[in-house]
Amino acid sequence: MPKIIYLSLLLLFVPAALADGLPDLGEVAQTVMTPQDEQRIGEEILRDVAASGEIVNDIEVVDYLQALGYRLAANSPDNRQRFTFFVVRDNSINAFALPGGVIGVHTGLILSASSESELASVLAHEIGHVVQRHLARMVALQQQDAWKSFAAMAFALLAARSNPQLAGASMQAAQAGAIQKQLDFTREHEREADRVGLQILDQAGFDTRAMPAFFEQLLKGTRFYEGGAPSFLRTHPLTTERIADVRNRVEQLPYHQVTDSPEFSYVRAKLRAMEGSPQQAIAWFQDVLREKKFNSEAAQHYGLAMAYTRANNLEQARREVRWLREHAPRHAMVETLSAHLEFAMGNPREAESQFRRALADFPDHRGLIYGYAEALLASGQPDAALKLLGDKQRIFPDDAHLYELQSQAYTQQGKNLLRHQAQGEAYFHSYNLASAIEQMELALKSGDGDFYQLSIVEARLKQLRQMMGDPKDKK
């Protein structure tokens, strides 16, 4: 979909909201911006955000946050709402909700949370804003600023796309400006999001006391992550009154004794290992281990291994992995790192065998699936890669990267129709319809497909063109 259409769609919502007088809240929330409209805008934003370079694409981080988010969303009062969670590389402590159930979380928040329940409490609060449809209701309340800011953010993202050097700056500006202004939720919204969020947190089995505790520390300004300011406070006005309110509710709920998942600790260590220079990261983990300042010792060894890997000190990284093998329960993230290390150290056979064994135990860990497929492709085994990818597409039918890898495998086999078809699906699942159509057209022209393959591509192309026509009809 061309950008201009997207922007005009956004801007169209403002006059539409004001045109026919204002019906009651509930109705407006439904009519001004339908869930389908929200979904579409959310997907467009996701696509731009994905291209901005400010997003953490690491599949293990993404999958962890998605799993945590889905676990919470599954306990929300609105089970028809779709959710997508993504991680923004930003040290400030924040999370935000966009149309279509799209929720962004800053790395600073993940690193600042001292327990998984604290991280979950902020996510649950954001889910609360989404299920109460606060964005749509703000439009209904003539808060046009919301839409101006969404448009501003879209422009900033466009600029970021056409000029990658600007990406960081404009994304920052978009977040600081747009999200701050537009998502100036009212106190009423905040109370609602707290109330709904707390229910979700409780039903999903987290420690509800984490919510007031984390909020309190944010308010006192005692919880910082290396210069990351708690910008959450700007977008979600927090008062002592509000915290007291949450605390009262918590007292009426049953207490859950909760231990953090190993993933929570490993993901935090992985993000931490990416900060600063490789040498700084190594020193940080060595220091933590020396002074025993940790909740999970295994996670610190994992982080140290990641930091050594960044520094290209693979022998030391392998030593840390060996420590993990001896002292920690078997974990998919450690297995993934170990197999990657073997590959990087020039032992492709050992890497393949580690990937294969680990996948038998953790069949849906995408870090392993990607790693194994990449290793097979790197050593020129497209048949084995295609077999693996085909199996895993049954679990992850919407995974763009699996299609991407499939396309690479077909390229190695010299199969042009299949290569473009798979690449087209990769674009489609990255919300890039125009490029998907282009690839399907190339597939038809490739000249090496049989009748059956050609008719599948033709049918798909027709379908994609219809989808493409849809927003134009709207305009």
Residue 196: CB minimum distance to Zn ion, A: 11
Residue placing its CB nearer to Zn ion in the complex, 64 or 185:
185
Min CB(218)–Zn ion separation in Å: 12
| Residue bearing tokens 């207490």 | 255
DSSP assignment letter at 446: T
- DSSP assignment of 30-96: HHTS-HHHHHHHHHHHHHHHHHTS-B---HHHHHHHHHHHHHHHTTSS-SS---EEEEE--SS--EE
Give percent helix, percent strand, percent coil of the chain, each to the nearest 5: 70, 5, 25
Rounded to the nearest whole angstrom, what is the least distance from the CB of residue 192 to Zn ion in the complex?
9
Based on CB atoms, which residue is closest to Zn ion, 117 or 408?
117
* Per-residue contact string for residues 162-191; x = within reach of Zn ion by CB under 5 A: -----------------------x----x-
- Tell me: does residue 196 bind Zn ion (CB under 5 A): no
Pick the stretch among 61-69, 73-81, 231-239, 435-443 that binds Zn ion (CB under 5 A): 231-239
Nearer to Zn ion, 193 or 218 (CB): 193
Catalytic-role residue among 63, 118, 126, 374: 126
Q: Find all residues with CB under 8 Å of 397, minimum gap 6, and list them.
A: none
Report the residue number, 37 or 190, with the smaller CB distance to Zn ion. 190
On the 0-12 / 13-18 / 19+ scale of CB atoms within 10 A, 306 is buried
Q: Which of 43, 44, 194, 263 is catalytic?
A: 194
At residue 2, what are phi and psi to the nearest 5 degrees?
-60, 150
Q: Which residues contact 156 (CB under 8 A, 6 or more apart)?
A: 170, 171, 173, 174, 178
**Residue of the chain from 40, 236, 268, 272 that contacts Zn ion (CB under 5 A):** 236
Going by C-beta distance under 8 Å and a sequence separation of 6 or more, which residues neighbour residue 308? 278, 282, 314, 316, 317, 320
By beta-carbon proximity to Zn ion, the closer residue of 190 and 207 is 190
Q: Are strands 95-98 and 102-106 parallel, antiparallel or unpaired?
A: antiparallel
Smallest separation, CB 193 to Zn ion (Å): 5
By CB under 5 A, which span of 6-14, 27-35, 193-201, 291-299 interacts with Zn ion? 193-201
Rule CB under 5 A: say whether 193 interacts with Zn ion.
yes
Residue with tokens 């993202």: 157
**Candidate segments 205-213, 232-240, 287-295, 358-366, binder of Zn ion by CB under 5 A:** 232-240
How far CA 304 is from CA of 317, 347, 390, in Å, comes to 7, 22, 35
- Choose the binding region for Zn ion from 22-30, 92-100, 228-236, 265-273 (rule: CB under 5 A): 228-236
For Zn ion, how many residues bind (rule: CB under 5 A)? 4
Q: By C-beta, is 187 or 465 nearer to Zn ion?
A: 187
Nearest distance in Å: CB 84, Zn ion: 18
118 is catalytic: no
Report the candidate in 409, 431, 429, 428 with the shortest Cα–Cα distance to residue 418.
409
CA 181 to chain centre: 23
184 included as an active-site residue: no
Closest distance between Zn ion and the C-beta of residue 240, in Å?
Answer: 16
> Interface with Zn ion by CB under 5 A: which residues?
185, 190, 193, 236
Catalytic residues: 126, 194
